[in-house]
Structure 1
Amino acid sequence: MTLKLYFDLMSQPSRALYILLKNIKCDFTPVPVDLRKAEHYSEEYTKINRFQRVPVIDHNGFILIESVAILKYLSHEGIIPESLYPRDSKQAARVEEFLEWQHSGLRLHCAMFFRVKALDPIITGKTPEPKTVQGYEHRMENALGMFNDLWLGEGRQFVAGDSISVGDLLAACEVEQPRMAGYDPKDKYPNIADWMRRVRDHFNPYYDEGHAILNKIVKNKSKMAPKL
């Protein structure tokens, strides 16, 4: 089997797939794609992914984009163990129920807050309007509140019930992203905080490895904050 993962650890779904493949001891070839150097816009990479995004897998010549499609495929191929992606149709449906929700229910709002507050100012050199940031923060908090209460409330240990799954890892990588914009969801949402500890413990040491760059950025920002 030849499996290549094209990724950048600044990308939330890239981190999830990288951590997952490391955790399950999959023999894969990591192929970093540096988004900051615009390598995803190169002619060579565009031949691999016409949408010029990460992550991408190449499995024995079969190229696949989109993280959820990749997870489903790797499960069908028997690469992801049943403990993380159930084979039972009803249990699998519970995981996929969350995977379907998280794109617009969680990922959209966490990613847009990070982009507007932290990424766009770097790209454009312009400071966003406070009201604009507040609007995106409000929408993100609505999403986080729903995640905290409806997916992780009433004693639920993980997003699909009492067992950890690929859905938890994908969600955790999304919830980490706003930290680079100075917002840590663990500070306000207790269910999320407890759940993230469980996810991190399960996937470590690879969870911390996958988030090393993110954690470094957060640490550097916290050092600079008193000087601002």
Structure 2
Amino acid sequence: MPRAKTLQSPRIDPLLLEELTDADPSDLLARRAHEALRFAPSAEDSRALTGADIPSIDLSECELGGLDLSDTRIVDSRMRETRLDGVTASVLAAQGADWRDVELRSSRIGAIEVYESTWNSVRLQGCKLGFVNLRGSELVDVAFEDCTIGELDLGGATAQRVGFAGCRIGLLEASNCRLTDVDLRGADLDVVRGIASLKGATVSFEQLMTLAPALADELGLRVE
């Protein structure tokens, strides 16, 4: 009998940011490259970027801390070795993102639109997220840790080596997604849509029992 394939965990190196230069958030300009900078709000104004339209920003070895990004548009952003720490937003538009070696931690976001994005080596830690739209995205080596997520939309997404440790997910939309080494065992799942597309994911026995009615309904099974 062939051995069961070993589940692969996300491969994410620690993000070390050193010798960053403090910069004013207003210096974040569209279609510009920014490197080795720390953007934080002044004591007088944490809303310097609220409602800002700064598409195609390019951040390398940067940190954004304590900023209110409500209604901020950073569509088609490119981030490398960058941390977003303690940011808040009602809605953050970041669709078409290309993020590699990025951390989002201790943040509260009502809705983050990151559909049709590419995430590689991304860690989300200690965040409260109302709606995460990753529809049609490509995820490789992504870790959700100690996050509360109201709705996670992975419809049509491709995900490889993705984990959910200590997470709570109200609704997981999985229709037409393609999963490899996706570990859902650490997630408290309330509702799953598109459950037949969870092939390639790993669940616990307890989760399987909870998902069984939805799985039977999806497959048209009659249970008596």
Mark yes or no: TM-score above 0.5.
no
User: Which has the greater radius of gyration?
Assistant: 2
TM-score scaled by structure 2? 0.25
TM-score scaled by structure 1? 0.24
Could you say which structure has the higher helix fraction?
1
Name which structure has the greater RCO, CA cutoff 8 Å, separation 6+.
1
Could you say which structure has the higher strand fraction?
2
